[in-house]
């Protein structure tokens, strides 16, 4: 095939770069200056191809990228699995909280890497993610789980876009399934009183009174230390929380350390061991089971900062609640004396019989027992926080005060946590009755 050739003595206009065939190496060459490097020198890109058509396509692509401001960044080409792994292991932990990163890792390693990881970052399209979401739904996963995967991918690709690895965040264009918000029914006054009565018969029962009256989050309440209580002003400062974190290996060979605990075969059907879906067998290079490592570190119950700046707040305690906390302090002193040398002094307000902080899972188990004892319908422990917020609505507390007490950073949280209860409906009905009929 005859090669096209520019007439002798002519050249491309300024700014158009150069495109030519070299008899020396047998390649077509395209050279375009697309900008300026960090050191001030011209950023001149050079591609060469045996085929003239391919070379011209690359040449036009460089010109278009330069003109559109989407010049590809120099460096390695990323596949989706490599970028997601790098992002979740090295970038996300720098700014995200521990539990957020745990959620990211579940979405990345369980769903995104197996589902779309083989694509190149610059070639993946929104429909690739939408097909993954459809497969997840067909497999029986809840829309909320799919949304978590979608949010994780969107965040990871936003960082890639910010760094110039991709030109656009294609996940932002993908459609995720709709999630119907769960209807929350806060506890009615009679139920609250019954739960409090049952709670005060148990050690640490005042912890549940704080949840129902002030809306303390589980980690916040379990993380209280006596130093947070100001007896003179009758206030309680919220600054820290308790959180269970995964242990980390302290050994050199992570796979060999957990060899004894690797799951090699699927569970029998039916499985008598697991109440939740059975975990799959461990991969050949499994590095889990760090809780069994003799040199384990960094896990267990860990004291962390509260969720946000708005979460750092101070409650002024009702007199009745302050009195309950003082009586609880006396009971804890008796428990300390009874435990003797077995007591682990950590300054915690709510403790196990040996002075150690309470595990969140055990705390939730006690909550379920209290509901059953008080003959109250099953409810999440977090519903106590919804109940406290709704009581503040019922009392007509100023929204700014409600936000401060609950530790909210945006007013939109009021819509999520404050609910119209039967008591509120009855109050409105009474006001309407007085307005329309009492006057007559």
Catalytic residues: 217, 248, 382, 385, 408, 417
Inter-residue long-range contacts of 55-63, CB under 8 Å, 24+ positions, other chains counted: 55/19, 55/27, 55/28, 55/29, 55/30, 56/19, 56/28, 56/30, 58/30, 59/17, 59/19, 59/30, 59/32, 62/17, 62/30, 62/32, 62/34, 63/16, 63/17, 63/32
E runs forming strands in 246-311: 300-305
Alpha carbon distance 106, 128 (integer Å):
19
Nearest alpha-carbon partner for 234 in 349, 320, 328, 316:
316
Dihedral sign from CA coordinates of 252, 254, 260, 261: positive
Q: How far is CA 405 from the centre of its chain?
A: 23
Alpha carbon distance 349, 330 (integer Å):
11
Nearest alpha-carbon partner for 393 in 383, 407, 406:
406
Alpha carbon distance 325, 210 (integer Å):
10
Alpha carbon distance 212, 383 (integer Å):
9
Enumerate the β-bridge partners of residue 334. none
CB 107 within 8 A of CB 152: yes
């Amino acid at each position: 095939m005859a090669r096209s050739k520019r007439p002798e003595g002519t050249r491309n206009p300024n700014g158009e770069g150069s495109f030519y065939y070299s008899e020396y190496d047998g390649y077509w060459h395209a050279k375009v200056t697309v900008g300026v490097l960090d050191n001030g020198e011209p950023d001149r890109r050079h591609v060469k191809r045996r085929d003239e058509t391919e070379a011209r396509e690359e040449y036009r692509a460089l010109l278009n990228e330069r003109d559109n401001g989407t010049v590809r960044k120099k460096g390695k080409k990323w596949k989706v699995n490599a970028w997601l792994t790098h992002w979740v292991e090295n970038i996300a932990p720098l700014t995200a909280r521990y539990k957020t990163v745990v959620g990211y890792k579940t979405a990345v390693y369980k769903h995104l890497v197996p589902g779309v990881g083989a694509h190149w970052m610059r070639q993946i399209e929104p429909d690739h993610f939408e097909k993954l979401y459809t497969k997840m739904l067909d497999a029986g996963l809840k829309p909320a789980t799919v949304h978590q995967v979608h949010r994780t991918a969107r965040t990871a690709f936003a960082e890639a876009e910010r760094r110039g690895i991709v030109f656009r965040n294609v996940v932002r264009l993908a459609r995720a399934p709709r999630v119907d918000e769960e209807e929350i029914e806060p506890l009615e006054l009679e139920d609250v009183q019954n739960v409090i009565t049952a709670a005060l018969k148990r050690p640490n029962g005042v912890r549940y009174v704080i949840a129902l009256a002030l809306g303390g989050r589980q980690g916040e309440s379990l993380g209280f230390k006596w130093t947070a209580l100001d007896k003179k002003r009758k206030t309680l400062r919220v600054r820290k929380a308790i959180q269970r974190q995964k242990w980390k290996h302290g050994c050199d060979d992570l796979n060999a350390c957990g060899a004894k605990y690797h799951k090699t075969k699927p569970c029998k059907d039916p499985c008598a061991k697991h109440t939740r879906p059975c975990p799959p067998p461990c991969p050949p290079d499994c590095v889990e089971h760090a809780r069994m490592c003799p040199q384990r570190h960094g896990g267990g119950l860990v004291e962390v900062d509260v969720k946000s700046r708005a979460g750092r707040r101070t409650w002024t305690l009702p007199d009745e609640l302050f009195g309950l906390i003082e009586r609880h302090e006396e009971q804890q002193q008796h428990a300390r004396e009874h435990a003797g040398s077995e007591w682990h002094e950590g300054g915690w307000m709510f403790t196990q019989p040996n002075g150690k902080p309470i595990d969140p899972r055990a705390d939730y188990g006690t909550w379920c027992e209290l509901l059953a004892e008080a003959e109250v319908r099953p409810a999440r422990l977090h519903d106590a926080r919804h109940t406290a917020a709704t009581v503040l609505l019922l009392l007509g507390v100023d929204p700014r005060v409600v936000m401060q007490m609950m530790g909210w950073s945006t007013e939109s949280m009021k819509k999520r946590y404050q609910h119209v209860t039967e008591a509120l409906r009855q109050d409105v009905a009474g006001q309407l009755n007085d307005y329309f009929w009492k006057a007559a």
